[in-house]
């Protein structure tokens, strides 16, 4: 099945306060963000007509912009309303939503204080990130050669576009080697995350361990899974995990907006068997995302 190019689709995109036809949502080739990665974005999912944890995503988008040194000129409520509006304008109830804010073309060069900040919100239908059948048997991850940067070398607390360059490079290398995705270590050589999702490890003692997000995003889905595990009284440990400990896990799974909760079959040469803990949390998550916002807030606060 041929992919439909993202610049040649029917529908609508919210751009700088206006709903515009999909093909008319454009920016100039000399936009600062294209040259200097001065852009931040979010990934959100809509289930049964409700965008899951919308305000949390909007707040993170605004904060990511501030970390990069700019203020998005719309309030959180205006951004929330725009996300809902673009989903409805395209007639979706199950969809992926992509808000992105960036520096425009008013100034070129490393210094760009005179640039205007733009905001666009697009949405499209997108099923399971790795495919439903593949998800149940677990995805295969290669160990990336690139590492997540230290927090004093990059704005690692933001969802900044530039931070995903090494993710794309790592995923492409993994796919070329016959894997589904790549797994990344951090700048110290400790366990970090996949290219676009956080990771959890069920260790021999039955506890769930997850690396402390010192140089990568403390994901919204990550925190949701931790809350679901707490509700189940599953022991959860957040700590530094050494690379050599990958062999000590019995189950591994990923968590992210796109990936949702996805079991892992291997990281490099180390194999894992998706088990009951992974299956339970995967089912709990898929049940939660279809509840109303009030029910979600009862869990995550």
159 is catalytic: yes
SS (H, E, C) the chain: CCCCCCCCCCCEEEECCEEEEHHHCCCCCCCHHHHHCCEEECCEEEECCEECCHHHHHHHHHHHHHHCCCCCCCCHHHHHHHHHHHHHHCCCCCEEEEEEEEECCCCCCCCCCCCCEEEEEEEECCCCCCCHHHHHHCEEEEECCCCECCCCCCCCCCCEHHHHHHHHHHHHHHHHCCCCEEEEEECCCEEEEECCCEEEEEECCCCEEEECCCCCCCCHHHHHHHHHHHHCCCCEEEECCEHHHHHHEEEEEEEECCCEEEEEEEECCEECCCCHHHHHHHHHHHHHCCCCHHHHHHHHC
**Cα within 13 Å of Cα(30), Cβ side:** 7
Taking each helix axis as running N to C, give the angle between helix 76-89 and helix 54-67, from 0 to 180 degrees, rounded to the nearest 10: 120
Spatial separation of the C-alpha atoms in residues 183 and 195, rounded to whole Å = 6
Q: Which of 26, 88, 116, 159 is catalytic?
A: 159
- Catalytically active residues, by annotation: 159
């Amino acid at each position: 099945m041929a992919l439909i190019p993202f610049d040649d689709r029917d529908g609508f995109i919210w751009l700088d306060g206006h709903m515009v036809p999909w093909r008319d949502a454009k920016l100039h080739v000399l936009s600062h963000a294209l040259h200097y990665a001065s852009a931040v974005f979010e990934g959100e999912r809509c289930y049964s007509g409700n965008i899951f944890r919308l305000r949390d995503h909007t707040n993170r988008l605004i904060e990511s912009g501030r970390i990069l040194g700019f203020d998005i000129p719309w309030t959180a409520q205006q951004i929330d309303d725009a996300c809902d509006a673009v989903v409805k304008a395209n007639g979706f109830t199950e969809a992926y939503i992509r808000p992105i804010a960036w520096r425009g073309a008013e100034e070129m060069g490393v210094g760009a204080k005179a640039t205007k900040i733009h905001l666009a919100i697009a949405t499209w239908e997108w099923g399971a990130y790795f495919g439903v059948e593949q998800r149940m048997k677990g995805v295969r991850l290669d160990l990336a050669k690139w590492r997540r940067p230290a927090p004093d070398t990059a704005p690692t607390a933001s969802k900044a576009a530039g931070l995903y360059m090494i993710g794309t490079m790592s995923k492409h290398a993994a796919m070329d080697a016959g894997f589904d995705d790549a797994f990344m270590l951090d700048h110290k050589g400790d366990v970090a995350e996949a290219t676009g999702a956080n990771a959890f490890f069920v260790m021999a003692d039955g506890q769930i361990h997850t690396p402390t997000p010192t140089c990568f995003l403390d994901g919204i889905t990550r925190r949701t899974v931790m809350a679901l595990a707490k509700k189940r009284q599953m022991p959860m440990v957040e700590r530094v995990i050494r690379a050599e400990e990958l062999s000590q896990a019995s189950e591994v799974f990923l968590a992210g907006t796109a990936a949702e909760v996805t079991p892992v079959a291997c990281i490099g040469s180390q194999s894992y068997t998706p088990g009951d803990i992974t299956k339970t949390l995967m089912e709990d998550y898929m049940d939660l995302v279809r509840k109303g916002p009030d029910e979600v807030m009862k869990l995550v606060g």
